[in-house]
Amino acid sequence: MLTAIFSLGGIGLVAAVALGLAAKRFAVEVDPRELAILEALPGANCGACGYPGCAGYAKALVAGEIDANQCPPGGAAAAAKVANILGVEVAIREPEVAVVLCQGDNETASNRYRYLGLTDCVAAQKLAGGPKVCPGGCLGLGTCARICPFDAIEMTPKGLAVISREKCTGCRKCISVCPRQVIRMAPLKTSVHVLCNSHDKGALVRKYCQVGCISCHICEKTVPEAYVIEQLLARVDYDNAGNAGAAVDKCPTHCIRDFVAGYPPGSSYPPAVVPVKSDAA
Amino acid sequence: MRQMTFAGGVHPPDQKQATAHKPIEDCPLPAEYVVPMAQHIGAPANPCVAVGDRVLKGQVIGEARGFVSVPVHAPTSGEVTAVEARPHPAGSSLPAVVIRADDEDRWQERPAVEDLAALEAEDIIDLIRRAGVVGLGGATFPAHVKLSPPPEKPIDTVILNGVECEPYLTADHRLMLEEADRLLEGVAVLQKIFASCRVVIGIEENKPDAIELLNQRCSGRDVEVVPLPVKYPQGAEKQLIKAITGREVPSGGLPMDIGVVVQNVGTTAAIADAVLRGTPLIERVCTVTGAAVREPKNLRIRIGMPVAHLVEACGGIDEDPGKIILGGPMMGIAQVDLAIPATRGTSGVLLLREQDLPLRQEGPCIRCARCVQGCPANLLPTTIAAYGRLDRMEEAEDYRALDCIECGCCSFSCPAAIPLVQTIRYAKAAIMARKRSG
Amino acid sequence: MTQLLLIMISAIFVNNFVLARFLGICPFMGVSKKVETALGMGMAVTFVMTVATVVTWFIQYFLLNPFGIEYLQTIAFILVIASLVQLVEMVIQKVSPVLYQSLGIFLPLITTNCAVLGLAVLNIQKDYTFLEGIVFAIGAALGFTLAMVLFAGLRERLDLCPVPASFRGTAIALVTAGLLSLAFMGFAGLVKG
């Protein structure tokens, strides 16, 4: 009995001493704050902060290179935790989501040619500017949906990209790959958008899309502070969009949509809920 | 005895029977020409005329930019009505000079050269550059650059490319039959530039009349005519060099690295015109064909002629084309409509009917390796494309994506209709973009 | 000499620790996504296995057997292996932080890895001499590395294939591991025992 205790104890002691010496010899400096910050971050490694993955962001934070509110997926909650760990103040950024400014799917928008090739919007765009007649419309081949790290984008059966306001964290990866620049950021608090990206004249737009903006100015006349017409395309002024919903029914081509009433046709997402002001993303 | 061919390759149906026997016809002149500034590899030319200017045929309307660039010349005499972006065969709208023709079609001064022997190689190359001569095989690489290898790369072989391996195209074939004189004048010019080198004309065996004719005309001169087995892409530069000389162009290298210069037969004839007759390159032979064209022909066209006009000159459309291709069916570029101009590189206009197109849905790769067997550059198209699709461009580069000559043999042989060439092109573009941004 | 060679060949091919004895499947599946990480893991395991064999051999024949406390074999061996792995972890973290990151959780998992404990116990069971034990350990580690590198190569290829959704990830990896195992059965009978 005693032999057993002494033998095991002896082995343990030898091991402990050896490890203790090795720990001194092979010590590596790791800032414990980095690990704590890494815990607080969402861990999606999306790169929206501009650093290689969450670990890169954590390192930069500890080095003091960057503000603590640069992680859109983490939102205000993570920013607050990080600020706590670092002992700094941080300004809360307004949550933003990405919106696809187009409703022209295979049924409502026409094509110049039949595209048979790599199912990728960037590849299709290289072939004479893409199969869609509309120069700004969504090509519907799913490049954005594939790259979204949060699974927030779906392709409708008729070939239109739709982004879920609930799942989008504002990391902007979809914007970086879209060859048509049809995805834009908008504040989460606004749910009304003009879903068109074509600057062509109304008569021309009518020819190639049933739901495009024809810059008739009716929305601007209805709610002057909420709508701006720039280069033959209407858009919501997100800073004054409180009453924008009043123009939704007035638009003759139905290209203005309030996501609270529902997502574009074909989408499986339930109607959006506009968040109450105090909630964070 | 070594086989005069290369590894890989495919055998698409010839489809040259519609035009192989038809002599070259001059295309009637249209009322308006749209002359793009980008008709060659390298920097596009800069327009040097303004709206309202009167120009003469052969006058420079676009100046070359840099060494790898050539000037662009007016295809007829007339008035410049616009200098603006116009639809271009490459797919987007690019700067072009629009000329409304007067009825005179008057040349500007063309200085002729009486004594070739009196010229230095540098002067000859300068004449070639100023005439805007580019590779007429379809690549449109500036000829003067190809003909100016640095002194540490001596040239011992000049190969003339009379292979014309693309299906449907017969322009070079007819040129060899009907304009052998111009061709041989061009050969003499090349022999002056590259003294004491071996000159070989490579022709595929499906053109026996051309082989026989050139054999007769070349006997006594220092020019060999080499018939080659019919296989696509025998006319691709690296494959042609391998077949005729047995040498391989190193990965990432050029033919001049192994002492060879290759020129298309059409380019060679244009070189003769440029040097001996001071004539800039504004004309070429083009095959307009395909089941949707009423009367397929070999036309002598000028740059800037609308493609719709070329089709009209061939009796117009027989039925609505399912596909419009500028060039050959393997490497040509599909077009959205006929509202584009012909350029120096327009070797063919194909109007194919929808029922003749192999439109299939893409399926999964079954590892049959037909693409690997067919690849003339000894690559693994399926693997490069797979990495390209996954956006793993470094691995795609490791598998030598940049050595791909985009010949189309892989897409042609794939039983699953996978868009291999498109994916590899996509990968190549991504790799080059990454290299440029460092 | 022949005996040592036979032990080596048997450990690497015929009775491969992963593919024939089915020990160490956890790091086998976890670290074999890329060939470089597989190699790194293989080298770490080689070191641990060899040193563990030496130390456990001494402990068995100079401590446990003489004092009649053979029943402490399992716990004593685990103690030794755990310390060794801790040591290897520290060294790797210092010498190659990149490798440390890519091995991640699987480095400390060598501790609970049945392959290492299995090796130590088998050494004793087969009554190997000190030299034979070391050769056996090196062979086992080489076999482990070989299996992992081969499998990593296979998995890199699998990445390029359109695997059906229900098979993606671990499922198709295990199927492939089974096939690799079948392939290694071709070595059966090459060396007796």
Give residue-wise pLDDT tens across range A81-113.
888 888 777 777 788 899 999 999 999 999 999
* Rounded distance between C-alpha atoms, residue B347 and residue B173, angstroms: 12
Q: What average pLDDT does the structure give for chain B?
A: 94
By Cβ distance, the residue of A113, A118, A127 closest to B423 is A118
Cα–Cα distance measured from residue A102 to residue A138, given in angstroms and rounded to the nearest whole number: 6
- Residue C160: closest C-alpha in chain B: B386
pLDDT of residue B404: 96
Residue C111's pLDDT is what?
Answer: 66
Cα separation of B124 and B117, whole Å?
11
pLDDT at B1 over 70: no
Q: Determine the distance in angstroms separating the CA of B269 from the nearest CA of chain C, rounded to an integer.
A: 48
Q: Output the DSSP codes for A24-78.
A: HHT-----HHHHHHHHHS------TTSSSHHHHHHHHHHTT-S-TT--TTTHHHH
- Which residues in chain B touch residue A122, judged by CB atoms under 8 angstroms apart? 426
Which subunits count as partners of chain B given 3+ CB pairs below 8 Å? A, C
* Cα diameter, chain B: 64
DSSP state, residue B162: E
Q: How many helices (H) and strands (E) does chain A have?
A: 9, 8
CATH architecture, domain A96-258: 2-Layer Sandwich (3.30)
Determine, for residues B364 and C160 on separate chains, whether the beta-carbon distance falls below 8 Å: no
The CB density around residue A219, as the number of other CB atoms within 10 Å, is: 28
Mutant choice from C87, C89, C92, C100 vs A, greatest count of A C-beta within 10 A: C87
Question: How many CA atoms are closer than 13 Å to the CA of B170, on its beta-carbon side?
Answer: 27
Residue of chain C nearest A16, judged by CA positions: C83
What the block records as the tokens of C97 is 């932080």
Span A129-144, average pLDDT: 94
**Angle, nearest 10°, between helix axes C114-125 and C73-95?**
130
Beta carbons of B365 and C162 less than 8 Å apart: yes
* Token digits of residue B162: 């009379």
The DSSP symbol for A115 reads -
Test C83 with A8 for CB contact under 8 angstroms.
no
Task: For an interface test with C, give the residue of A3, A17, A24, A35 to mutate (most C CBs within 10 A).
Answer: A3
Is 3.40.430.10 the CATH classification of the domain at A32-86?
no
Which residues of B are less than 8 Å from A115 in CB distance? none
The H or E element spanning position B183 is helix B180-193
pLDDT of A281 over the 50 cut: no
Query: Is B346:B139 a contact under the CB 8 Å cutoff?
Result: no
- How far is the C-alpha of A153 from the C-alpha of A145, rounded, in Å? 5
What confidence category does residue C26 fall into, taking pLDDT thresholds of 50, 70 and 90? confident
State the pLDDT at residue B226.
Answer: 95
* CB < 8 Å to A208, chain B: none
For B213-222, what is each residue's pLDDT tens digit? Answer: 999 999 888 8
Indicate which of C47, C57, C69 best probes the interface with A, i.e. most A CBs within 10 Å of its own CB.
Answer: C69
Average pLDDT, chain A: 87
Distance from CA of B93 to the nearest CA of A (A): 9
A127 exposed, middle or buried (CB, 10 Å; 0-12, 13-18, 19+)?
A: middle
- The CA distance from C152 to the nearest CA of chain A, in Å, is 24
Contacts of A128 in chain B (CB under 8 A): 91-92, 335-336
* Contact residues on chain A for B422, CB-CB shorter than 8 A: 117-118, 123
Residues in chain C with CB shorter than 8 Å from the CB of A19 are 83, 86-87
* Among C64, C66, C56, C72, residue whose Cα is nearest residue C128: C56
CA B206 vs CA A190, B17, B167, B216, B237: distances in Å: 69, 11, 11, 18, 19
Q: Report pLDDT for B433.
A: 93
Task: With beta carbons under 8 A apart, name residues in chain B contacting C159.
Answer: 390
Q: What are phi and psi of B195, to 5 degrees?
A: -65, 150
Q: Which of A259, A163, A253 is nearest to A211 (CA)?
A: A253
**In whole angstroms, what is the distance from residue A203 CA to residue A206 CA?**
5
pLDDT at residue C193, rounded to an integer: 55
In the prediction, which pLDDT does A277 show?
A: 46
Q: Helix H segments across B203-304? A: 208-218, 237-245, 265-277
The secondary element (H helix, E strand) that includes residue A143 is: helix A143-147
Q: Cα separation of A172 and A181, whole Å?
A: 12
Report the distance separating Cα A212 and Cα A253, nearest Å. 6
Answer whether B110's CB lies under 8 Å from B101's CB.
no
What CA–CA distance (Å, rounded) separates B249 from B260?
Answer: 9
Contacts of C91 in chain A (CB under 8 A): 22, 26
Nearest-angstrom CA–CA distance, A258 and A263? 8
Cβ–Cβ < 8 Å for B45, B142: no
Neighbours of C31 (CB within 10 A): 26
Find all residues with CB under 8 Å of B172, minimum gap 6, and list them: B137, B161, B162, B163, B164, B264, B265, B266, B285
Residues contacting residue B137 through CB under 8 Å, at least 6 positions apart: B161, B172, B235, B264, B266, B267, B347
Give the orientation angle of helix A75-86 with respect to helix A53-62, to 10 degrees.
40
Q: DSSP alpha helices (H): ranges in B260-327?
A: 265-277, 307-313
What SS3 class is residue C169? coil
Which of A19, A26, A28 shows the shortest C-beta gap to C83? A19
The reply to whether residue A28 touches residue C68, judged by beta carbons under 8 angstroms, is no
Choose the closest CB to A117 out of B92, B335, B422: B422
Q: Closest to C69 (Cβ–Cβ): which among A7, A19, A26?
A: A7
User: Distance of alpha carbon A88 from its chain centroid, rounded?
Assistant: 27
The answer to whether the beta carbons of residues B112 and B185 sit under 8 Å apart is no
With CA atoms as reference, the chain A residue closest to C101 would be: A55
**Local confidence band at C33 (pLDDT 50, 70, 90 cut-offs):** confident
Q: What angle do CA C187, C189, C191 make, to 5 degrees?
A: 90
CB-based contact A196:A255 (threshold 8 Å): yes
The H-assigned helical ranges of B78-141 are 121-130
Average pLDDT over residues B7-21: 94
Average pLDDT score over residue span B209-215? 95
Whether residue A22 contacts residue C90, with contact meaning beta carbons closer than 8 Å, is answered with yes
Q: With beta carbons under 8 A apart, name residues in chain C contacting B390.
A: 159-160
Interface test with A, best of B323, B326, B336, B360 (most A CBs within 10 A): B336
Go through the domains of chain B in sequence order and give each one's CATH number.
Answer: 31-102 (2.40.50.100), 116-277 (3.40.50.11540), 370-437 (no CATH)
Q: Is the pLDDT of residue A266 over 50?
A: yes
Which chains border A (3 or more CB–CB pairs < 8 Å)? B, C
**Residue to test with chain B: of C34, C35, C155, C160, most B Cβ within 10 A:** C160
Among all residues of chain C, which has the CA nearest to that of B364? Answer: C162
Please give the helix or strand (H or E) that residue A13 lies within, else none. Answer: helix A2-25
**Is residue A8 over pLDDT 50?**
yes
Q: Is the pLDDT of residue A278 over 90?
A: no
Chain A residues near residue C162 by CB distance under 8 angstroms: none
How many beta-carbon pairs below 8 A join chains A and C?
A: 43
Nearest Cα of chain A lies from the Cα of C79 at a distance, in angstroms, of 7
Mean pLDDT on A65-84: 80
The pLDDT of residue B21 is: 95
Give SS3 for B51.
Answer: coil
pLDDT tens digits along C75-116 = 888 888 888 888 888 888 888 887 777 777 777 777 667 888
Long-range contacts of A277-281 (CB under 8 A, 24+ apart): A277/A189, A280/A75, A280/A76, A280/A77, A280/A92, A280/A95, A281/A72, A281/A75, A281/A76, A281/A95, A281/A169, A281/A170, A281/A188
User: What average pLDDT does chain C have?
Assistant: 87
C-beta separation of B290 from B296 below 8 A: yes
- The encoded tokens of residue A173 equal 């990866």
Cβ neighbours, 10 Å, residue B283: 18
Cα–Cα nearest to A186, from A146, A238, A224, A120: A238
Give the percent of chain C with pLDDT over 70. 97
β-sheet bridge partners, residue B227: B203
B418 CB neighbours in chain C (<8 A) are none
Backbone angles phi, psi at A177, to 5 degrees: -100, -20
Name the closest residue on chain A to residue B361, using Cα atoms.
A116
Within 8 A of A123 by CB-CB distance, chain B residues are: 422-423, 426
Contact B234, B409 (CB under 8 A): no
Q: Say how far apart CA B11 and CA B374 lie, in whole Å.
A: 10
Write the single-letter amino acid at A113: Y
Contacting chains of C (3 CB pairs or more, <8 Å) are: A, B
All residues of chain B having their beta carbon less than 8 Å from the beta carbon of residue A133 are: none
- Running DSSP on this structure, what letter comes out for residue A94? P
For residue A124, the distance in angstroms to the closest alpha carbon of chain B comes to 10
The pLDDT of residue A280 is above 80 = no
What is the band of A132 on the pLDDT scale with cuts at 50, 70, 90?
Answer: very high
Nearest Cα of chain B lies from the Cα of C163 at a distance, in angstroms, of 10
Please list the residue range(s) of chain A that carry CATH number 3.30.70.20: 96-258
Burial class (CB in 10 A: 0-12, 13-18, 19+), A20: exposed
Query: Which residues, numbered 152 to 171 in chain C, qualify as contacts with chain B under a Cβ-Cβ cut-off of 8 Å?
Result: 159-162
Residue of A nearest to B358 (CA): A116
Cis peptide before B233 (omega within 30 of 0): yes
Indicate whether B160 pLDDT > 50: yes
Cα–Cα distance for residue pair C137/C46, rounded to 1 Å: 8
Residues in A closer than 8 angstroms to B357, CB to CB, are: none
Q: How many residues does chain B have?
A: 438
d(CA B281, CA B283): 6
Kindly report, residue by residue over A11-51, the tens digit of the pLDDT: 889 888 988 888 888 777 777 788 788 888 887 777 778 77
pLDDT at site C2: 87
A75 neighbors A169 (Cβ within 8 angstroms) = yes
Give the closest-approach CA distance of B90 to chain A in angstroms: 7
Of A116, A122, A123, the CB nearest to B359: A116
What is the average per-residue pLDDT within C58-82? 88
Is B363 at the interface with chain A, CB within 8 A?
no
d(CA B180, CA B26): 18
**Least confident interval from A73-77, A255-259, B313-317, B338-342:** A73-77
pLDDT digits (tens, 9 = 90+) for C113-152: 788 889 989 989 998 899 999 999 999 999 999 999 999 9
Query: pLDDT tens, B227-284?
Result: 999 999 999 999 999 999 999 999 989 999 999 999 999 999 999 999 999 999 999 9
pLDDT at A175: 94
pLDDT value, residue A178:
95
Check: complex ipTM more than 0.90: no
The nearest alpha carbon in chain B to A130 belongs to B91
Under an 8 A CB cutoff, do B422 and A112 touch? Answer: no
Q: Which alpha helices (H) appear in chain C, and where do they start and end?
A: 2-9, 25-30, 35-59, 73-95, 97-103, 114-125, 130-158, 170-184
User: What are B85's strand-pairing partners?
Assistant: B95
Residues 47-86 of C with CB under 8 A from A: 59, 63-64, 67-69, 72, 75-76, 79-80, 82-83, 86
